[in-house]
Structure 1
Amino acid sequence: MKYDMLVEGGQIPSGKVKVSGAKNSATRLLAASLLTDEPVRIRNFPTQLVDVVEKIGFIRKLGARVEVDDEREFLEILTPGLSCKTIDDWELPIRTTYLLTAGQIVRNGIARIPYPGGCKIGARGYDLHMMVWKALGCEVREEESYIQVNGSFRGGSVDFPISTVGGTENALMCASVATGTTEIRNAYITPEVEDLIDMLQQMGAGIENFGNSLIRVRGMGGLMRGASFEVMPDRIEALTWIVFAAMTGGDVYIKGVPFRHMKVPLLHLEEAGLDLYRNSHSVFVSGESIQGQGIQPFELACGTHPGVISDMQSFYVLLGMKANGISRTFDYRYPERIAYARELSRFNADAIACEPGKITTFGIASLKGADVTSTDLRGSMALVMAAFCADGQSRIKDVHMAMRGYNGLLDKLKTLGVHASLIETG
């Protein structure tokens, strides 16, 4: 389903909000649950995310049994078998389809997966995944509607030419069911990848990390054990609510903040003038959190964890629009991630300027209601936040992009005493 959102500006949030399980961990753990024929139970699972619903629907078609409890945020998965031969629709609008390969190969010696994000031959946004499958002993064919992988996984060496989160996750899952030992070089170990490693270890894989870029995996040589696991809290969602409260001057208690994975992002907020009240797992943001001189202008560069990652970029840009002066946010890893900034400028054309790798904001900016269009998941949420800070009504088109990353978004806004309405568009 596609949606637009209508927001009346000037609403100030107040109340408690709980951070859900991390999207970038949960969808990977769901795929890992297919590596066993024993029950897998996952707690703190963001069951209502669009990507989650799409992936659950697809793996049910493959043969997995999935019980979903939205209220308890709980999944139970049992996979007695998987068969790609029952699939007749290969359109799946998510990027992590490649993670569905290992569960099929370990059972059948053949896997068919949708092209990541629905892209067709020519886009080739999956070369590193093909490299993983080939390095571990399988053959790969690109068919018109799907990618087909044949063979069985054997331990080997995976040498990524660039650090890659998705490639690391794929290699970990394939190596965990392979026969023998695999070395993964130039890996990218994020907190969400650590979550996947912890669950795969619980399921029986022998995994050793050497720094942040070398992983050695001793495979099970077949199906793995069952597991009971809890998804880590979403560090990007936690940052979202902190910035939302700071920008609006609301009184918001945010529960479930993964502080140990957010040291550098939070340090940047503190240096911008936010005095955060916190305990070991929660933070309280109020009007008093902003020190006497207001939000201070800043410069920061997005990069890899443990720094400010690119998915967090839009929230610092948004904060810069409310700072006392000129702020600059750089992103040389994903320099073209600026389309959302052009949409933000519709709230105030003089408040923001962007070029590849660099976004400049001019504060303190007054924002006017606007019609804007979502360009990506996190950018879409930044547009929603800007709409609440603006004078007048705003329409955020294609806001379903934000709903891909924020579990129960409308309900969470309601718990904070602010309201938005959805309009179905397709």
Structure 2
Amino acid sequence: MKKMIIHGGKPLKGDVWIGGAKNSTVALIPASILSRTPVTLDSVPRIQDVDNLMDLLAEMNVTSEFVETTLKVDPSNIEMHPLPAGKIKSLRASYYFMGALLGRFGRAVVGFPGGDDIGPRPIDQHIKGFQMLGAKVRNENDEIVITAPEEGLHGANIYLEMVSVGATINIILAAVTASGRTVIENAAREPEIIDLSTFLNNMGARIRGAGTDTIRIDGVPVLQARNAHTIIPDRIEAGTYISLAACVGEGIRVCNIIEEHLDSFLAKVEEMGVGMEVNEDSIYVYPAGDLQMIQIKTMPYPGFATDLQQPITPLLLSAKQGEGVIIDTIYPKRVRHIPELQRMGADLHVEDDIILIHPSSHLKGAKVSADEIRAGAALMITGLMAEGETVIENADNILRGYDRVELKLRQLGADVEIVDA
């Protein structure tokens, strides 16, 4: 494990370049095994989740090469193998291999997924979707075994009882090569789903409606990659750096963004009183003055993203008066960062899964633990605000989700290093 050491209280300035979307990347890499030809992905973030997914590809005799921001995947000699539970548990997004393997081989054997501990995240809707497509699903020795009928998967009308990004993606991956038409109703609308559908359509898939709550998929027998696919910018990384810029910046430009992907987040930042200049593909964040407390409620896209409720928390701590409120309707138990922030002098607490925040002008460095990716981002920003030294243990969780974070912070003028624990 690694730890991040921050000497805070230093104003930051300059430009920061946002990498490719983590939540797209972790779906696109499993999706690449559906291709019968080599796949090239551009703008791939340098994060540990990519390394873990490459390890899983190797288990199936799929070669991959990652140079700078380009990942090349060659599934030409892929072999069907059960994926080991140990590596599967290292990141939750590995469950996308369920849909991808089912679509490629008609069979998948995958250990139960792991990932961040942010409360219950059942996969029952994934299973329901596979079953509606004709697959049989059973649990054997803590592994999920999914098998298509002899004649293959068939299209179906699938209604998701609750909006689920993971289930929407997994059903798409299984349905693109199924016979007939599949219709997913109450589908998730995230930009990452549009990105995945664009990637698959460029390989010959027939997916319509991505980005709306009804997605239609007409199955095709074979997918073949022809051109490189450039991953969309990471809206969560962008929101994190915008929050950081408002907290400790003396003028920071956040480059390589898609503004409309950040609409709900930017609306809340503006409501607080942060000055910004929004351009076509960048946002300049002015030094913050007196900020107002606000209330935030996370919702499925295009609402305020659950992954941004923790990175925006340090910004609320910077407000001058009043009480801030965060209600996470997606993962109500996503509050493990609260006691860690309290160690740093933050005045906030949880009541009935609602986070209540008060102005905290005397933040101090402390030893804290990043128990998941976005909690780590909140601690990182707070450490940059605080006086003295902050040591963030389990910093691997930050590296799982943030592209070259140490380099980017140093380029802005931060005194930060990541070392082995």
Q: TM-score range by the shorter chain?
A: over 0.9
Q: Distance in 2 between the 1:341 and 1:212 partners?
A: 35
- 2:397 is matched with which residue? 401
- 1:219 is matched with which residue? 219
- Aligned with 2:382: secondary structure? helix
Q: Distance in 1 between the 2:168 and 2:104 partners?
A: 22
- 1:74 deviates by 0.8
Identity %: 29
Q: Is the 8 A contact 1:63 1:80 kept in 2?
A: no
- 2:42 is matched with which residue? 43
Q: Which runs of 5+ in 1 are unaligned?
A: none
- 1:55 is matched with which residue? 53
- Aligned with 1:131: secondary structure? helix
Deviates more, 1:224-233 or 1:240-249: 224-233
- 1:211 deviates by 7.4
Q: Distance in 1 between the 2:297 and 2:80 partners?
A: 43
Q: Distance in 1 between the 2:121 and 2:395 partners?
A: 27
Tell me, yes or no, if structure 1 residue 138 matches structure 2 residue 154.
no
- 2:124 is matched with which residue? 127
1:352 partner amino acid? L
Q: Is the 8 A contact 1:252 1:286 kept in 2?
A: yes
- 2:30 is matched with which residue? 31
- 1:364 deviates by 4.5
- 1:110 deviates by 2.4
- 1:114 deviates by 2.5
- Aligned with 2:25: secondary structure? helix
- 1:76 deviates by 1.6
- 1:423 deviates by 3.1
- 2:145 is matched with which residue? 148
TM-superposition CA deviations, 1:349-379 (whole Å, max 9, x none): 5x11222432121114220111111122111
Tell me, yes or no, if structure 1 residue 367 matches structure 2 residue 363.
yes
- 1:89 deviates by 6.4
- Aligned with 1:369: secondary structure? coil
Q: Distance in 2 between the 1:415 and 1:249 partners?
A: 13
- Aligned with 1:187: secondary structure? coil
- 2:7 is matched with which residue? 8
Q: Distance in 2 between the 1:362 and 1:102 partners?
A: 44
Q: Distance in 1 between the 2:271 and 2:30 partners?
A: 39
TM-superposition CA deviations, 1:2-39 (whole Å, max 9, x none): 21211111122222210000000111111111111112
- 1:254 is matched with which residue? 254
TM-superposition CA deviations, 1:70-102 (whole Å, max 9, x none): 2xx111222113223386665321112221134
- Aligned with 1:75: secondary structure? strand
Q: Is the 8 A contact 1:299 1:328 kept in 2?
A: yes
Normalising by structure 1, report the TM-score: 0.91
Q: Which runs of 5+ in 2 are unaligned?
A: none
Q: How does 1:86-125 map to 2 (within 5 A)?
A: 90-92=86-88, 93-117=90-114, 125=122
- 1:344 is matched with which residue? 341
- 1:328 is matched with which residue? 325
Q: Distance in 2 between the 1:230 and 1:370 partners?
A: 40
Q: Distance in 1 between the 2:414 and 2:138 partners?
A: 50
Q: How does 1:256-295 map to 2 (within 5 A)?
A: 256-287=256-287, 290-291=288-289, 294-295=290-291
Q: Distance in 1 between the 2:140 and 2:261 partners?
A: 40
- 1:184 is matched with which residue? 184
Q: Is the 8 A contact 1:334 1:357 kept in 2?
A: no
- 1:199 deviates by 1.2
- 2:79 is matched with which residue? 83
Deviates more, 1:236-245 or 1:225-234: 225-234
Q: Distance in 2 between the 1:85 and 1:282 partners?
A: 44
Q: Is the 8 A contact 1:97 1:114 kept in 2?
A: no
- Aligned with 2:417: secondary structure? strand
Q: Is the 8 A contact 1:5 1:421 kept in 2?
A: yes
Q: Distance in 2 between the 1:167 and 1:277 partners?
A: 37
Q: Is the 8 A contact 2:312 2:378 kept in 1?
A: no
- 1:183 deviates by 1.0
Q: Is the 8 A contact 1:14 1:251 kept in 2?
A: yes
Q: Is the 8 A contact 1:158 1:183 kept in 2?
A: yes
Q: Distance in 1 between the 2:235 and 2:163 partners?
A: 21
Q: Is the 8 A contact 2:103 2:176 kept in 1?
A: no
1:277 partner amino acid? E
Q: Distance in 1 between the 2:309 and 2:154 partners?
A: 39
Deviates more, 1:415-424 or 1:312-321: 415-424
Q: Is the 8 A contact 2:265 2:304 kept in 1?
A: yes
Q: How does 1:162-177 map to 2 (within 5 A)?
A: 162-177=162-177
Q: How does 1:196-215 map to 2 (within 5 A)?
A: 196-209=196-209, 212-215=212-215
- 1:223 deviates by 3.9
2:285 partner amino acid? V
Q: Is the 8 A contact 1:316 1:329 kept in 2?
A: no
C-alpha change, 1:89 and 1:334, in structure 2 (3 Å) is closer
C-alpha change, 1:410 and 1:155, in structure 2 (3 Å) is same
TM-superposition CA deviations, 1:249-297 (whole Å, max 9, x none): 332221112101111210111121111023211122232xx35xx1112
Deviates more, 1:3-12 or 1:107-116: 107-116
TM-superposition CA deviations, 1:195-245 (whole Å, max 9, x none): 111111112122222873211100113444444211110111111111111
Q: Aligned pair count?
A: 413
- 1:406 deviates by 0.3
Q: Distance in 1 between the 2:84 and 2:237 partners?
A: 35
C-alpha change, 1:85 and 1:270, in structure 2 (3 Å) is closer
- 1:188 deviates by 0.9
- Aligned with 1:161: secondary structure? coil
Q: Distance in 2 between the 1:109 and 1:198 partners?
A: 23
C-alpha change, 1:189 and 1:21, in structure 2 (3 Å) is same
2:72 partner amino acid? E
C-alpha change, 1:362 and 1:85, in structure 2 (3 Å) is closer
- 1:145 deviates by 4.8
